[in-house]
Each structure stands twice: as C-alpha cells, then as structure tokens.
Amino acid sequence: MPTRIYLCLLVFLLTISLFSQSRFNAGASFNIGFPTGSFSDLAKTGIGGSAIGEFAFSEQVSITLSASYQNFPGKGEGFAAQGEVYDFSVNAIPLLAGVRYYFSEEFFGSFEAGANFFRVTADIYDVYSEEKVSTDYEVKYGGGIGAGYRYRLAEP
C-alpha cells in the first residue's frame, strides 16, 4: 500500500513541476522528532528525512506536499523475559500537505496536516537466534506547525 502512495506522490510532484515552470520548488530536509505526551515515556528522540514539493502562489504564500520517514528508538537498552531480550523502535511515515508563509525571502512559518503511518518493530534476541517482529502500519491523523529557512542552490 505505501508503495502505491509514493508512486502517486511522485507522479503528482513531477506533473506539477512540468506545468508550473519556476513556481515549483523541490527539496529535502533532515528531521529531528521530539516525542511528546505518553509517547515520550516509550521513545527517544527520532531522526529521519523528508522530500518536499512546494508550489508558490505568490512571493509570500505557497502550498507544500511532503513525504517523510522517522525512526524513534525505544527508551532503555531493552528488557529481558524468559531468556530473550526485546528491543523496540517505532517507525513513522508522515504524508502531509501544508501552507507556508514567507516572512522574508528565506524565513518562513508553516502549518501542515495529513496522515501518519506508524509501525512498532521489536528485535528479539536470545542465545541461539535473532528475530525481528513488526506490526502492520496504523494510520493516525494529525498536523503541526513549524518554522524554517530556505536556501536556494541556484538563482531562479
């Protein structure tokens, strides 16, 4: 299922880039995720990356589409039960649409909303083997606000 979503997103971004000329920007980012609420009791700070497409309506307002991958390692070194050691991690794939407002040519604020696909993975070790068990992806809906800096690699 996620492969189909990525393919549709790629086709959509390529179509926009062909027809929008210089009004379309593409980029990538490195992400740091800070767990909050009860999730922070289970997971450490996560890292990941994003692919971002942006279509500008004016000099100050644009819409964005982004696809990301985040990995949140479990807190602690794992725990042992019945001769096996369990180590957990949580993977997240957020697919978000948003609006950016540019305060200047480089600095912006953003609001995003969309679907987040979560999966819990457990690495199970014992003396004789290593096993990896994963849940199916579960969808949660959410949003966020942010701020950023845009660095142009080439002049328009």
Render each residue's pLDDT in the chain as its tens digit; 156 residues: 566 666 666 666 555 555 545 588 888 888 888 888 888 888 889 999 999 999 998 889 999 999 999 999 887 665 666 667 777 788 889 999 999 999 998 899 999 999 999 888 877 777 677 777 777 888 999 888 989 888 877 776
- The H or E element containing residue 146 is strand 138-149
- The H or E element containing residue 4 is helix 2-20
**Quick one: tokens of 33?**
């995720």
**Quick one: tokens of 58?**
């004016």
Q: What is the pLDDT of residue 153?
A: 73
Q: What is the pLDDT of residue 33?
A: 86
Q: What is the pLDDT of residue 127?
A: 62
Q: What is the pLDDT of residue 112?
A: 94
Indicate left, alpha or beta for 114 from its phi (over 0: left) and psi (-120 to 50: alpha): left
**Closest alpha carbon to 94 in 71, 115, 121:** 115
* Alpha-carbon span 10 to 26, nearest angstrom: 11
Q: What is the pLDDT of residue 62?
A: 93
* Alpha-carbon span 145 to 31, nearest angstrom: 14
Q: What is the pLDDT of residue 142?
A: 87
- Measured CA distances, 100 to 23, 77, 136 (Å): 14, 39, 32
Q: What is the pLDDT of residue 24?
A: 82
Q: What is the pLDDT of residue 74?
A: 83
